[in-house]
């Protein structure tokens, strides 16, 4: 049996229990809830332990077999008729930013659980097993890098180096896992998967602006990150004439404007951001002698992303000459553009059409665990709107009806890949 065929027209238009999904999201959202209604639930803290324990209990109540690997990823498996087949996987994360919301990541996990609960309600058996996974430390807020659990699972990071990573207080990942009781015994070697799906709030404003209920995610932007240090000469702001300055701050301003113009040049998929900026010596009457900044470039097409980098380097060289400064550009991250598997994209799109939801093909501008999973299995994603496109913020909001729509699409996509027996 070919689990990943394209016969998605046979997808049954099943829907989830909207009230139960919402209740689960709100109940897990009490653990680490902030005064503003968001979440502060950093990875591998006691609050993380509490929500993990709750999730495991819910999964066991739904008849799932639960296992934990050595990096703390949690796997909850619903048996299929043929358990020798690779599972169809879905999931996300339940750790948050320090000022995060109740839906980022958590929606993907709870929608996977709701899909299993709904299959149980309807007594539907699948050919292949279905597995919901909670990935450890997707956010990277406490321990770098982000997408840690899925990165180890898919072989992007080594277990040994990851366990040795320390937070700002000097606590290692290994020590944190041990302290909360989630240093599992299961091997971290990524097992085969028939497919992987991840439901997520969009974290952007496109679906809301287009008034669409579901985003069919066709791929993810490639990302190239850099640290740039511009060095000039700090000097007194009064006695130093404007034409005799080596102003690192002014040179930096031109770099920042260029990064923005570069992204606009390669619209609609171009992105350019300076997110970190530090001036030295940081005195109001001293011309900056050194500036450190971060540069984040993104695009859907690899060739264009490389062209953006080349243009950035050429502009930095020109700015060095114009302002009498020196510049050192260091790459810090490189994620190539990703096209999700056509079979998974089609399963999502056809499930959306069968359910009658308005939808839009969309590209993910952010990193998700699905990006790493796509390296080892066919993968796809489902987006639903979030209010104002706001995420990584306590003001993060999503409509219960939209969340249920995304979870219903997930349910039907899982069935299309796992194979419905009855």
Statement: residue 404 has pLDDT above 60: yes
Can you give the pLDDT at residue 2? Answer: 41
Give the Cβ contact number of residue 70 at 10 Å: 19
Provide the percentage of residues in the chain whose pLDDT is more than 70.
97
- What mean pLDDT is predicted for residues 121-125? 98
Per-residue pLDDT of 177-190, as tens digits, reads 999 999 999 987 77
| pLDDT attached to residue 7 | 38
Neighbouring-strand partners of residue 398: none
Under 8 Å between Cβ of 72 and 183: yes
What phi and psi, each to the nearest 5 degrees, are found at residue 402? -65, -40
The per-residue pLDDT for 377 is 97
Predicted confidence at residue 188, as pLDDT, reads: 78
Which of 144, 143, 150, 36 is closest to 99 using CA atoms?
36
Q: What backbone phi and psi angles, to 5 degrees, belong to 334? A: -150, 105
* Terminal Cα distance for the chain, rounded: 16
pLDDT at 361 over 80: yes
- Please give the Cα distance from 38 to 58 (Å, whole number): 22
Confidence of residue 297 (pLDDT cuts 50, 70, 90): very high
pLDDT of residue 12: 57
Q: What is the pLDDT of residue 6?
A: 38
Residue 153 has pLDDT above 70, yes or no: yes
CB burial of residue 137 (10 Å; 0-12, 13-18, 19+): buried
Q: Please tell me whether residue 180 adopts helix, strand or coil conformation.
A: helix
Query: What is the mean pLDDT of the segment spanning 396-420?
Result: 98
Kindly give, in sequence order, each residue whose CB lies less than 8 Å from that of residue 248, ignoring residues fewer than 6 positions away.
230, 231, 232, 279, 287, 288, 289, 290, 291, 323, 325
Q: Mind listing the pLDDT tens digit for each residue in 229-254?
A: 999 999 999 999 999 999 999 999 99
Kindly state the average pLDDT of the residues 366-372.
Answer: 91
Arithmetic mean of pLDDT over the chain: 95
**Torsion angle of the four alpha carbons 65, 70, 74, 80, in this order, in degrees rounded to the nearest 10:** -40
Q: Is the separation of the CB atoms in 214 and 409 below 8 Å? A: yes
Does 335 sit behind a cis peptide bond, omega within 30 degrees of 0 on the bond before it?
no
Q: What domains lie within the chain, and their CATH numbers?
A: 8-220+337-418 (3.40.630.10), 224-335 (3.30.70.360)
């Amino acid at each position: 049996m070919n689990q990943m065929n394209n016969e998605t027209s046979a997808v049954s238009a099943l829907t989830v229990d909207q009230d139960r999904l919402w209740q689960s999201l709100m109940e897990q959202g009490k653990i680490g809830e902030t005064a503003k209604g968001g979440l502060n639930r950093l990875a591998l803290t006691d609050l993380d332990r509490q929500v993990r324990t709750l999730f495991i209990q819910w999964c066991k109540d739904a008849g799932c077999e639960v296992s934990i690997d050595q990096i703390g990823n949690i796997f909850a498996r619903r048996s299929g008729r043929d358990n020798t087949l690779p599972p169809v996987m879905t999931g996300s994360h339940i750790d948050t930013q320090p000022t995060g919301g109740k839906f980022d990541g958590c929606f993907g996990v709870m929608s996977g659980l709701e899909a299993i609960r709904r299959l149980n309600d309807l007594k539907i058996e699948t050919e292949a097993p279905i597995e919901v996974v909670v990935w450890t430390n997707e956010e990277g807020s406490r321990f770098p890098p982000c997408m840690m659990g899925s990165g180890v699972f898919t072989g992007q990071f080594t277990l040994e180096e990851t366990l040795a990573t320390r937070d700002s207080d000097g606590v290692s990942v290994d020590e944190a896992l041990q302290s909360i009781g989630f240093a599992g015994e299961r091997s971290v070697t990524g097992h085969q998967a028939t497919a992987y799906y991840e439901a997520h709030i969009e974290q952007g404003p496109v679906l809301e602006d287009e008034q669409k209920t579901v985003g069919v995610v066709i791929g993810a932007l490639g990302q190239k990150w850099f640290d740039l240090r511009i060095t000039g000469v700090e000097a007194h702001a009064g006695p130093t004439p404007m034409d005799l300055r080596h102003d690192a701050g002014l040179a930096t301003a031109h770099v920042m404007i260029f990064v923005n113009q570069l992204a606009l040049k390669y619209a609609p998929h171009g992105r350019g951001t300076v997110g970190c900026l530090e001036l030295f010596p940081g005195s109001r009457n001293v011309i900056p002698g050194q500036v450190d900044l971060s540069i984040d470039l993104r695009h859907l097409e690899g060739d264009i992303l490389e062209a953006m980098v080349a243009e950035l380097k050429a502009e930095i060289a020109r700015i060095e000459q114009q302002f009498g400064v020196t510049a050192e550009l260091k790459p810090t991250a490189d994620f190539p553009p990703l096209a999700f598997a056509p079979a998974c994209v089609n399963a999502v799109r056809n499930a959306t059409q069968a359910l009658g939801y308005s939808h839009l093909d969309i590209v993910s501008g952010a990193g998700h665990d699905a990006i790493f999973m796509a390296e080892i299995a066919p993968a796809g994603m489902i987006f639903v709107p979030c209010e104002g496109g706001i995420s990584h913020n306590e003001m993060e909001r999503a409509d219960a009806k939209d969340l249920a729509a995304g979870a219903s699409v997930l349910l039907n996509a899982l069935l299309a890949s796992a194979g419905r027996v009855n």
